[in-house]
Amino acid sequence: MCPHQNGDSAAADKSEMVAVPLQNGHSNGVNGSSNGTQPIKKRGTTRAPDAHLKREPRNPYAARASDLISNISNFNIIESTLREGEQFANAFFDTKTKVAIAKALDAFGVEYIELTSPAASEQSRLDCETICKLGLRAKILTHIRCHMDDARIAVETGVDGVDVVIGTSSFLREFSHGKDMTYITKTAIEVIEFVKSKGIEVRFSSEDSFRSDLVDLLSIYQTVDKIGVNRVGIADTVGCANPRQVYDLVRTLRSVVSCDIEIHLHNDTGMAIANAYTALEAGATHIDTSVLGIGERVGITPLGGLVACLYAANPEYVKAKYNLAMLREIENLVAEAVEVNIPFMNPITGYCAFTHKAGIHAKAILNNPSTYEILKPEDFGLTRYVSIGHRLTGWNAVKSRVEQLGLALTDDEDVTAKIKELADVRTQSMDDVDTLLRVYHSGIQSGELAVGQKEALDRLLRRHKAEAQGRAASPSLERDD
């Protein structure tokens, strides 16, 4: 059973604790004023020798000049589960499922929903029309090749905008469509002007941007910007980019175009969330996501992971923008539709995302959840869980469970030792722990543990040991609470 569904969480009622404020204003030791080292005197400076001692300590959290272009707290999500996500190996979405996903994403609050090309099949075209007629708050986009045939079909579907793409790397120019940059530029202008003439949004994107020639890229982006494209898109189609490359390309592009900048990042090397964050820092305005990151191969920036990362940066902004409590429901909907499980380490909704285990962690979490949590589970409609029945537990965690059960135990350390003894053989379920605590409690009430109770504990221990001998050595991540 998933811990977040368990209203019986050991620490569920401790979430109202006071957060410890960040300690701004302390020296970070890098300017030589706090660690006893002498500052190096620069040639030609006329500062008094002790000037550094009078300087205000540097605030490491203060805004820097580069933060002025950052869109970490000013971005849009282009949710592409119904386009990129349909390219996931397991995906088949019938109309009903597409409508359910579109409605859920809209209720969550994404700004855009991107749909498969209506040129892909007759049903894709009909589904696109159906979703356009739902009257959702989110803008509906469809995604097409840079080709007039596709554009003519797309503008008739009722979409709010069209995302146009064409490969610009030498790989794709040679092995995919076979067109040179002159032809690509000419066709892009034709398609963009046609879509614009229909009064809807248009975006132009270069596929495989990070393996394309920078001069080719900047030149075509400048051209389409001048003719009034709404957005230009950068795509890390093969997931080869690292954060520094993303920062550099977006930053450079920001200085040559005035329109919005979208980014689409594949996750082949696990960089998709970090790259999205970096793109926003460099001035990107729109991020492509899909639920659980589904897409070609291992997919793209996952919606939930991106939201976790941006919430960590500015919780109030993200909470005000999205209905965060819906994330779990949306992920379950999509996971079921494409027949996958939600990974145990998924940000926010993973099985263990808000479970704390080691005694040291448990104690601090129970005192103040911010000690070991950057995300507040309650902001996502979830609960934290303190795991107790294992050999890494400590008396503080045990005491908290004792209090939750309304028991009166004075020797928490003794009962903790007993839990560890049993857990040295195998992990104890919460039921096992509770039974043990109740046995101790009744023993204390009657003056000492009754003979029968001691025997019961010993029997339990013997049974665990016998079971353990017959079991494989590998520990399970499952809890049976």
Ligand X SMILES: O=C(O)CCC(=O)C(=O)O
Ligand Y SMILES: CC(=O)SCCNC(=O)CCNC(=O)[C@H](O)C(C)(C)COP(=O)(O)OP(=O)(O)OC[C@H]1O[C@@H](n2cnc3c(N)ncnc32)[C@H](O)[C@@H]1OP(=O)(O)O
Known catalytic residues?
Answer: 361
Comparison of 163 and 331: residue with beta carbon closer to ligand X: 163
Least distance in angstroms from the C-beta of 31 to ligand X: 43
Residue 405: partners with Cβ closer than 8 Å, 6 or more residues away:
434, 437, 438
Contacting range for Zn ion; rule: CB under 5 A; set: 54-62, 84-92, 205-213, 362-370? 84-92
Least distance in angstroms from the C-beta of 228 to ligand X: 19
Binding status of residue 117 toward ligand Y by CB under 6 A: yes
Least distance in angstroms from the C-beta of 192 to ligand Y: 13
> Token pair for residue 241?
């980019």
Q: 86, 106, 150, 163: which one contacts ligand X (CB under 6 A)?
A: 163
Distance between CA atoms of residues 435 and 442, nearest Å: 11
Question: Rule CB under 6 A: which of 66-85 touch ligand X?
Answer: 84
Least distance in angstroms from the C-beta of 139 to ligand Y: 19
Q: What is each CA distance from 409 to 196, 386, 392, 403, in whole angstroms?
A: 73, 19, 21, 9
Comparison of 266 and 464: residue with beta carbon closer to ligand X: 266
Q: 4, 145, 173, 286: which one contacts ligand Y (CB under 6 A)?
A: 145
Q: What angle do CA 369, 271, 108 make, to 5 degrees?
A: 60
Q: What is each CA distance from 215 to 179, 222, 256, 425, in whole angstroms?
A: 17, 11, 12, 65
Query: Which DSSP state fits 348?
Result: T
Binding status of residue 428 toward ligand Y by CB under 6 A: no
Comparison of 80 and 404: residue with beta carbon closer to ligand Y: 80
Question: Rule CB under 6 A: which of 38-97 touch ligand Y?
Answer: 87
Q: 28, 59, 74, 176: which one contacts ligand Y (CB under 6 A)?
A: 176
- 163 binds, options Zn ion, ligand X, ligand Y, none, Cβ within 5 to 8 A by partner type: ligand X
Q: 78, 102, 128, 166: which one contacts ligand Y (CB under 6 A)?
A: 166
> 3-class DSSP state for residue 104?
helix
Least distance in angstroms from the C-beta of 112 to ligand X: 12
Distance between CA atoms of residues 338 and 72, nearest Å: 31
- 176 binds, options ligand X, Zn ion, ligand Y, none, Cβ within 5 to 8 A by partner type: ligand Y
* Residue 162 buriedness (CB in 10 A; 0-12 / 13-18 / 19+): buried
Q: 106, 150, 207, 268: which one contacts ligand X (CB under 6 A)?
A: 207
Comparison of 167 and 302: residue with beta carbon closer to ligand Y: 167
Give the closest residue to 243 by CA, choosing from 222, 205, 269, 218.
269
Binding status of residue 150 toward ligand X by CB under 6 A: no
> Token pair for residue 472?
């494989």
Comparison of 119 and 265: residue with beta carbon closer to ligand Y: 119
What is the phi/psi pair of residue 64, to 5°?
A: -110, 165
Least distance in angstroms from the C-beta of 247 to ligand Y: 23
Chain-centroid distance, C-alpha 332: 15
Contacting range for ligand X; rule: CB under 6 A; set: 21-29, 210-218, 233-241, 457-465? 233-241
Q: 115, 120, 436, 460: which one contacts ligand Y (CB under 6 A)?
A: 120
Contacting range for ligand Y; rule: CB under 6 A; set: 112-120, 238-246, 281-289, 306-314? 112-120
Binding status of residue 331 toward ligand X by CB under 6 A: no
Site string for ligand X, 176-205 (x = CB under 6 A): -----------------------------x
Task: Please name the amino acid found at residue 225.
Answer: D
Least distance in angstroms from the C-beta of 2 to ligand X: 32
Contacting range for Zn ion; rule: CB under 5 A; set: 81-89, 108-116, 320-328, 409-417? 81-89
Site string for ligand Y, 209-248 (x = CB under 6 A): ----------------------------x-----------
Half-sphere exposure of residue 204: CA atoms within 13 angstroms, side-chain side: 31
Sign of CA dihedral 152, 154, 159, 163: negative
Least distance in angstroms from the C-beta of 80 to ligand X: 8
Distance between CA atoms of residues 374 and 326, nearest Å: 19
> Token pair for residue 134?
């739902």
Q: What angle do CA 317, 321, 325 make, to 5 degrees?
A: 105
Half-sphere exposure of residue 197: CA atoms within 13 angstroms, side-chain side: 8
Find out whether 222 and 251 touch, Cβ atoms under 8 Å: no
Q: 14, 52, 139, 147: which one contacts ligand Y (CB under 6 A)?
A: 147
Give the closest residue to 159 by CA, choosing from 122, 134, 128.
128
- Residues in binding contact with ligand Y, number by CB under 6 A: 15
Task: Please name the amino acid found at residue 58.
Answer: R
Q: Work out the widest C-alpha separation in the chain, in whole angstroms.
A: 92
Binding status of residue 457 toward ligand Y by CB under 6 A: no
C-beta atoms surrounding 59 within 10 Å: 12
Chain-centroid distance, C-alpha 62: 25
Using CB under 6 A as the criterion, which residues of the chain lie in contact with ligand X when the complex forms?
Answer: 84, 143, 163, 165, 205, 207, 233, 235, 237, 264, 266
Using CB under 6 A as the criterion, which residues of the chain lie in contact with ligand Y when the complex forms?
Answer: 87, 117, 119-120, 145-147, 165-167, 176-177, 207, 237, 296
